[in-house]
Amino acid sequence: MRARETWRIIVLGCLVTSTLPLCAYTQSTTHSSNTPCEGADIDKDYCFRCHSNTTQLINVISELWRVEDMLVEPAKYARSNHAELNCLECHAYTWPFFPHQESVRNLRLSCLQCHQGEDKFAKFRFHYIEQQYNRSVHEENLPDTFSCFSCHDPHEFDIADPDDEIRYTIENSNRLCRKCHASLAEIAILTTRKLPRLEEGHSWLPGPDLHWKHVRCVECHTPHEEHFSHRILSAKTAERMCEKCHTKDSILLTKLYKHRVSETKQNYGFVNMAVFNDAYIIGMTRNIYLDWAFLAFIGLVVMGVGGHAGLRIITWKWRKKHGK
């Protein structure tokens, strides 16, 4: 125990010494932890010294304090939508000493603190997202433990690009859901409710693995609206009618393949070209020439058989009369 305390003092001393410029900076300003942060000149790399695995410092720190849930991957952060932001723009900097005050951990950050009221974010419709989210199953069942950050890690968030390959869009989207729903241990952290395993909950679905590979969870677990909805539906209210997707006018054309529809045109009679290069979806992938040919040939055969049978019936009496 004495050794442990000694180490703590040594590390603390090193950290404090190396942050003297920061102390000087923070003491000269006043800042409330509840207001949106202003920009700061502190380099992200400064924070990453502890809050990432890029240095060995984290190995020492984690021996003494719980930091595993405060790690950020610099490479992912650099690719995220928030890459240009300094850490201090979101995280309050009333922590001149290490470890930071407990209040920093409990700071209730919200996407809407930044992403609301500004014209440049209007196209993302954050106001509607909040409304939709408030009606979702997550908010209904986990109002205190669930938030935007439960799915969207702001340090890694990278909005889906319409030009991305569909399979990457599907993988990235489903990974968010599977992070919790594919792990009973993760669910147990959020709730005491006993939820079925993913496979059990989808046992009604033919070929669930195929579906998870080729469509996003949200295709069925969000309502069919003009814009993508954040109102996640429960197992009971999620879409279960197969024909909603497996049909020529599939709802997938307004969801997963929405951005492809503008490129859609018939090629050699294949409708729904949006999916052509990515998947074959029974009932949705159709060729109108083939379909019409099928129906025309069947019509011809029915007429031929009907005509032939009719003629046999008509000539039956004559054949009987003549003993044939």
Q: List residues bridging with 114 in a β-sheet.
A: none
DSSP state of 144: T
Q: How far is the CB of 305 from other proteins (least distance, A)?
A: 5
Q: Which is nearer to other proteins, 87 or 256 (CB)?
A: 256
Q: Which is nearer to other proteins, 108 or 322 (CB)?
A: 322
Of 165, 178, 191, 186, nearest in space to 69 by CA: 186
Q: How far is the CB of 6 from other proteins (least distance, A)?
A: 58
Q: Which is nearer to other proteins, 14 or 309 (CB)?
A: 309
Structure tokens at 199: 């496979």
Q: Which is nearer to other proteins, 47 or 273 (CB)?
A: 273
Structure tokens at 318: 């004559």
Q: How far is the CB of 259 from other proteins (least distance, A)?
A: 18
Q: How far is the CB of 302 from other proteins (least distance, A)?
A: 7
- Phi-psi group of 207: left, alpha or beta (phi > 0 → left; psi -120 to 50 → alpha; rest → beta): left
Q: How far is the CB of 283 from other proteins (least distance, A)?
A: 4
H helices, E strands: number in the chain: 16, 0
Q: Which is nearer to other proteins, 101 or 287 (CB)?
A: 287
The answer to whether 173 touches 218, Cβ cutoff 8 Å, is yes
- Which run of H or E residues covers position 137? helix 137-141
State the distance between the two ends of the chain, measured CA to CA, in whole angstroms: 114
CA distance 267 to 254: 20
Q: How far is the CB of 236 from other proteins (least distance, A)?
A: 17
The amino acid at residue 179 is K
Q: Which is nearer to other proteins, 24 or 311 (CB)?
A: 311
Tallying the residues shown for the chain, one arrives at 324
Of 154, 150, 188, nearest in space to 72 by CA: 154
Burial of 1-19, coded b for 16+ CB within 10 Å and e otherwise, reads eeeeeeeeeebeeebeeeb
The amino acid at residue 210 is L
Q: How far is the CB of 217 from other proteins (least distance, A)?
A: 19
Q: Which is nearer to other proteins, 160 or 302 (CB)?
A: 302
Distances (CA, A) of 235 to 181, 186, 260, 290, 292: 12, 18, 28, 38, 38
Q: How far is the CB of 256 from other proteins (least distance, A)?
A: 14
- Which run of H or E residues covers position 262? none
Q: How far is the CB of 286 from other proteins (least distance, A)?
A: 8
The answer to whether 283 touches 246, Cβ cutoff 8 Å, is yes
Q: Which is nearer to other proteins, 153 or 239 (CB)?
A: 239
Q: Which is nearer to other proteins, 120 or 321 (CB)?
A: 321
Q: Could you tell me how far CA 100 lies from the centroid of its own chain?
A: 32
Where do contacts with other proteins occur on this chain (CB under 8 A)? Answer: 204, 206, 210, 241-244, 246-249, 275-280, 282-283, 285-287, 290-291, 294, 297-298, 301-302, 305, 308-309, 311-312, 315, 319, 322, 324
